[in-house]
Amino acid sequence: MSAYADQRVLVVGGTSGVGLATAREFVTQGADTVIASRSPQRLDAALAALGGLTASGGGAVNGQTLDIRSEEEVEKFAATAGEFDHVVVSAGETPMGRVDALPPADAYAAMDSKFWGAYRIARSVRVRPSGSLTLLAGYLSQRPGRASALQSAINALVRGLALEYAPLRVNAVSPGPLRTPLWEGMDVTARERMYEAATRRLPVGRVGEAADVAQAVLFVTGNAYATGTTVYVDDGGTIA
C-alpha cells in the first residue's frame, strides 16, 4: 500500500515549482490531494499534468481556486473543505530589494502573500491532530543577502505554531537557489549567470530542483517525531 493511501492532503500553491513537485509526490504515493492556486489557468494545467498519475494508480487529485491574500476566500474554503491529514503552504510572492529601494506597497504585498497567507491557512483550515502543517520558507532567513531583509524577516511562524497547535506537527522546509518558474520573468542570460554563480559558490556544486525540496517536504510530513523544526535543503547555501 502506498505511504499516503487514504490520507487527504492540501498543497497551497501546488500548480508550479516546489508546490507542483510536492503535489506530484503525494499523488504518486496514494494521497487524495487538493491543489490550490489563485490562477485558474495554472490550476487547469497542473490538474492535466497530474491526472496521468491518478490513472496509473496514484491518489485522486482535485483543484481549488483560492487566493490566500483574501481572508474571506480562505475562510469560505475552510468551511466546506473538511479535514486534511497534511497541509503544505508553498504559495507566496516575495519581491527582492533593499529596504530603501523596495516600495512599501511591494513589501506589504509580500507580507500579505507569504506571511499572512500562511497565517490565514494555519488559522482557518482544519488539520487532524495526528497530521502536519508544513510551510515553505527560505535560506535567506539564516543567510540574508544585501537585498533580502524582507525575506529574512518573513519566515517566523513555525516554532510558535508548533507549540500552539500541538500535537499537530508544524515544520518548515527551507530551500536554497532552485531552477523553478519563479525566475521565468528574468532575462535568460542573466538567469543563467545567476545559476552559474550559485553553482560555483555552493558546496554541492549545483542549483537545486523542485523535486529535491518536495522530497524534504514528504520527509517532514511523514516523520511523526518532527515538529517545530526547519529542514534546510539549500545546497549548503547557509554555510557557503
In this predicted structure, what is the pLDDT of residue 147?
64
DSSP 3-state of 105: helix
Question: H or E element: which one contains 184?
Answer: none
In this predicted structure, what is the pLDDT of residue 189?
82
Q: Rounded to the nearest 5 degrees, what angle is found at the Cα of 137, between the Cα atoms of 53 and 149? A: 145
- Write the DSSP symbol of residue 181: G
Close Cβ partners of 195 (under 8 Å, ≥ 6 residues apart): 177, 179, 207
In this predicted structure, what is the pLDDT of residue 211?
92
* pTM, full prediction: 0.90
Phi, psi of 178 (to 5 degrees): -130, 155
In this predicted structure, what is the pLDDT of residue 42?
93
Neighbours of 142 (CB within 10 A): 16
User: Dmax of the chain from CA atoms?
Assistant: 54
Write the pLDDT tens digit of every residue in 167-211.
999 999 988 778 777 667 778 787 788 778 878 888 888 888 899
In this predicted structure, what is the pLDDT of residue 203?
86
Low-confidence ranges of the chain (pLDDT < 70): 1, 139-145, 147-148, 155, 182-183
Q: What is the Cα–Cα distance from 40 to 151, expressed in whole angstroms?
A: 27
Neighbours of 226 (CB within 10 A): 17
In this predicted structure, what is the pLDDT of residue 1?
46
Using CA atoms, how far residue 54 sits from 7, 24, 175, 210, 215, in Å, is 14, 10, 28, 21, 19
- Cβ–Cβ < 8 Å for 178, 210: yes
ω into 167 cis (within 30 of 0):
yes
